[in-house]
Each structure stands twice: as structure tokens, then as C-alpha cells.
């Protein structure tokens, strides 16, 4: 295992998770397509493919190191069949009747799952505005061990930035675990475990894999006991990743730093231009000095992310016209791929009502920024006619 603490995350993304360096060995890990393994009594034997697979393990090594999970001390990452499978595994750790404190505006399927579990009596929930530190701290009053603070920062799609060090410290003082969905930031921009979180969740589908061809998730934790519980849930629930998907995701991680560097720079430039566009009522992106999360993002992130949200003048109809009028941008859900995507989020029934009807979420890819701007500018201008 590559565990050189002097290496940057960019280097770890390229160097970790590779086979032993022996003469004539392959550079890349193999794609292990098998449902079972030859029986062995050796410690750590895989036995059956629902327990482990070498291709998963290579991806998990890289993710653990990128998120600073301290593998040498028992921390690590576990890959799951999807981002929501990873979310479900974390929520499963909340005891029956336990409380989950979650953002009012966050990924709609996470909130939908929380609503579903609450309706079944499995857990209780309390919604908060994550950028309001005092409100979150107040929500933590009266909590019990086993309860959970669930955060996204920046949030999806409102791009609110939570004070992660303060909120993680408050949750720890209350005896409550903190889980952070780090999909938007990626471990190259933010490492929540270093900021005090207990668990990090990723939709690997997005930036980590990066090519819109994989559905996969991951959970990262430092506590060996928690990691064992997450692994047990994955095995028993059968929410295991496919080895081919894990292999593709690992290949995507190799270029993560290049893709994020390019898309972040383009996102900041587009946000700057959009902030003065006549068709735009509001731009949400932490790179803008006027953004409420700007100073906080500067303090705890190594960049501002590659997603920009805009509110189009003229309401939902105008926003839909922009979504349908672009030629280079793809009108599609998801994010984090090499291609740029645009979507009016309230078209989804589960989208929280705090998300404005006229909001477009822009996932900025790696195309030429001038081409992206020309296409978006034309569609925005046409939406006002």
C-alpha cells in the first residue's frame, strides 16, 4: 500500500492502488471478474465475491488515502453499488427511533430516503439551514449518542457552505456522529475527516469516476469499528459494487486533479460573467466575493467547486427555455463528468421546496470556457424574448 504522507493528494490519485512493483508486473490492477475464490484458511481470505474483490480494494485504497482516513490506524474506504447505497449504509448506523439532523436543501434522494424512513418509524429527523451555525448547534441540543448530523458542503444545489470545523466539534461535544457528503467538493478540494467529521460519503458516479459511465458510491471513515459495521452492512445487504464499475472508477480517479482544476477554473469564470448577465437574477458560487459562503469556503476548502447555480429572470418557464435552448451544454441530470450539464432542479418531484423554481444547476465540465459561455449566453438571452 502507498501510504507516503509526504505525497500530495494529486500524486496519491495517480500512484496509489497499484500492484506491487516487481519486474514485469502490470502497471494497473487487474479487473477481477469472479463470483468466488479458491478456499483458503489464511487470515483475511476473500472466500466469496460478496465479501471482497481485489478490484474494489484498489479503488478503496486510493479513496482512503485521498480522504486522509489513516489506513495505518485502521481507517479506510468501502465502495458501494451506488451513492445512495453508501448513504443508506450510514443511515443504517442510526438506532431505531434515533434522530438525524439534515439540511433543508440537500440532494433530493437523500432527503427522500430520510422522509421514507421517518414515515416508517425507523428514525426521526430535524431539518436545519446548514450555513446557520447557531441554528445547527441549537438543533444538536438534547440529542443522544447514536443520533447523526448529516451535512453537505457545498449543498446540492443551493451551494451553501457549512462551517464544518465548528459543526463537527459541536456534534462531537454532543456525542453525535457527523457524516459529510463530499461529492461536490471531492477530496482534492476538501477533506471533511481532517475538519472533524466521522464519516465521508461520495457518489463515485460523479467527479471521482468522472466520465458519466459508472454508478458507484463510497463511504470513508477512520474508526475501525465503524468501518467494520459499514462493511457488515454492505455484505449483508448485498450493496456491493461491480468489479468493472470499480475498475472504471479507479481509472477515472487517475485524472481527477486535472479535471477538477480545469472545471473549477471554468466554473469561477462563468460565475463571474453570469453575475452581470441581464437574464440572471442570482448566481450561487462560493468563488464570488459577494457569495454568502465565500469567506468560509476560502478558510476550509482548496477551491470553490465546479457547480454553479443560477436563478433565471422570468421564472420556471424561462429557466426551462434555457435548459432546452443550449446546444453544447447537455440538458441532463447528474454532474461531475467531463461534459457540461444543465438542469432545472425543481422538475424533480422530490426536490426540496426551498430550491427556487427558476434555479438551474450547471455542472461545468472541461470544454473550452469560451464555447460554454457563448452557448449559455445565447440561451439566456433568448429566454427573455
Which long-range CB contacts under 8 A does 47-52 form with residues at least 24 apart?
49/240, 50/235, 50/238, 50/240, 51/235
Position 278 in a domain: yes
Position 372 in a domain: yes
- Whole-model pTM: value is 0.96
Regions in the chain scoring below 70 on pLDDT: 1-5
Q: Which of 177, 206, 344, 345 is catalytic?
A: 206
Position 2 in a domain: no
Q: Which of 192, 221, 253 is the last residue of a domain?
A: 253
Q: Whole domain around residue 359: which residue ranges?
A: 256-383
What is the pLDDT at residue 45?
A: 86
Q: How far is CA 39 from CA 18, 36, 46, 47, in A?
A: 25, 9, 9, 6
Cα first-last separation, the chain: 59
Q: Which of 253, 277, 296 is the last residue of a domain?
A: 253
d(C-alpha 356, C-alpha 347), whole Å: 11
| Domain match, 212 and 352 both | no
Asked if 160 and 293 touch (Cβ cutoff 8 Å), the reply is yes
| Domain match, 95 and 220 both | yes
What is the pLDDT at residue 260?
A: 98
Q: Is the dihedral of CA 322, 324, 325, 330 positive or negative?
A: positive
**Grid cell listed for 32:** 477481477
CB atoms < 10 A from the CB of 125, how many? 17
Asked if 210 and 217 touch (Cβ cutoff 8 Å), the reply is no
What is the pLDDT at residue 4?
A: 63
223 is catalytic: no
206 is catalytic: yes
Q: Which of 147, 181, 291, 375 is catalytic?
A: 181
Asked if 83 and 217 touch (Cβ cutoff 8 Å), the reply is yes
Q: Which of 213, 230, 253 is the last residue of a domain?
A: 253
181 is catalytic: yes
- Which residues 6+ apart lie within 8 Å of 252 measured at CB? 208, 209, 210, 211, 214
Position 3 in a domain: no
d(C-alpha 369, C-alpha 377), whole Å: 12
What is the pLDDT at residue 1?
A: 46
Q: Which of 18, 46, 107, 291 is catalytic?
A: 107
- pLDDT tens digits for range 302-324: 999 999 999 999 999 999 999 99
Q: How far is CA 218 from CA 57, 182, 240, 342, 379, in A?
A: 12, 10, 10, 25, 36
- pLDDT tens digits for range 205-260: 999 999 999 999 999 999 999 999 999 999 999 999 999 999 999 999 999 999 99
| Domain match, 137 and 108 both | yes
What is the pLDDT at residue 43?
A: 86
| Domain match, 237 and 264 both | no
50 is catalytic: yes
| Domain match, 277 and 242 both | no
Amino acid at each position: 500500500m502507498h501510504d507516503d504522507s509526504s505525497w500530495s493528494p494529486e500524486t496519491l490519485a495517480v500512484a496509489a492502488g497499484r500492484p506491487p512493483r516487481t519486474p514485469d508486473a502490470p502497471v494497473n490492477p487487474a479487473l477481477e471478474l469472479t463470483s468466488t475464490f479458491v478456499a483458503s484458511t489464511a487470515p483475511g481470505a476473500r472466500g466469496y465475491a460478496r465479501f471482497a474483490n481485489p478490484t474494489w480494494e484498489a479503488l478503496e485504497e486510493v479513496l482512503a488515502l485521498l480522504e486522509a482516513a489513516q489506513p495505518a490506524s485502521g481507517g479506510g474506504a468501502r465502495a458501494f453499488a451506488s451513492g445512495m447505497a453508501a448513504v443508506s449504509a450510514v443511515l443504517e448506523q442510526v438506532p431505531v427511533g434515533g434522530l438525524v439532523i439534515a439540511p433543508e436543501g440537500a440532494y433530493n434522494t437523500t432527503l427522500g430516503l430520510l422522509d421514507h424512513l421517518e414515515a416508517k418509524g425507523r428514525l426521526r429527523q430535524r431539518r436545519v439551514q446548514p450555513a446557520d451555525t447557531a441554528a445547527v448547534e441549537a438543533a444538536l441540543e438534547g440529542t443522544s449518542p447514536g443520533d447523526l448530523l448529516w451535512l453537505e458542503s457545498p449543498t446540492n444545489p443551493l451551494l451553501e457552505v457549512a462551517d464544518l470545523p465548528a459543526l463537527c466539534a459541536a456534534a462531537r461535544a454532543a456525542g453525535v456522529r457527523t457524516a459529510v457528503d463530499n461529492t461536490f467538493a471531492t477530496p482534492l478540494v476538501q477533506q471533511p475527516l481532517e475538519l472533524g467529521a466521522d464519516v465521508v460519503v461520495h457518489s463515485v458516479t460523479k467527479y471521482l469516476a468522472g466520465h458519466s459511465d459508472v454508478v458507484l458510491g463510497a463511504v470513508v471513515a477512520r474508526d475501525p469499528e465503524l468501518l467494520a459495521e459499514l462493511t457488515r452492512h454492505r455484505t449483508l445487504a448485498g450493496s456491493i459494487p461491480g468489479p468493472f464499475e470499480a475498475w472504471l472508477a479507479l481509472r477515472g480517479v487517475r485524472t481527477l486533479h486535472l479535471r477538477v482544476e480545469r472545471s473549477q477554473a471554468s466554473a469561477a469564470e462563468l460565475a463571474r460573467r453570469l453575475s452581470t448577465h441581464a437574464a440572471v437574477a442570482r448566481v450561487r458560487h462560493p468563488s464570488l466575493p459577494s457569495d454568502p459562503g465565500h469567506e468560509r469556503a476560502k478558510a476550509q476548502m482548496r477551491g470553490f467547486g465546479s457547480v454553479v447555480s443560477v436563478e433565471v429572470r422570468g421564472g420556471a418557464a424561462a429557466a426551462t427555455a434555457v435548459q432546452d435552448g443550449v446546444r453544447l451544454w447537455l440538458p441532463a441530470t447528474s454532474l461531475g463528468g467531463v461534459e457540461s450539464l444543465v438542469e432545472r432542479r425543481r422538475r424533480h418531484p422530490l426536490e426540496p421546496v426551498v430550491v427556487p423554481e427558476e434555479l438551474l444547476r450547471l455542472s461545468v465540465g472541461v470544454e473550452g470556457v469560451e464555447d460554454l459561455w457563448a452557448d449559455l449566453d445565447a440561451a439566456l438571452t433568448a429566454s427573455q424574448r
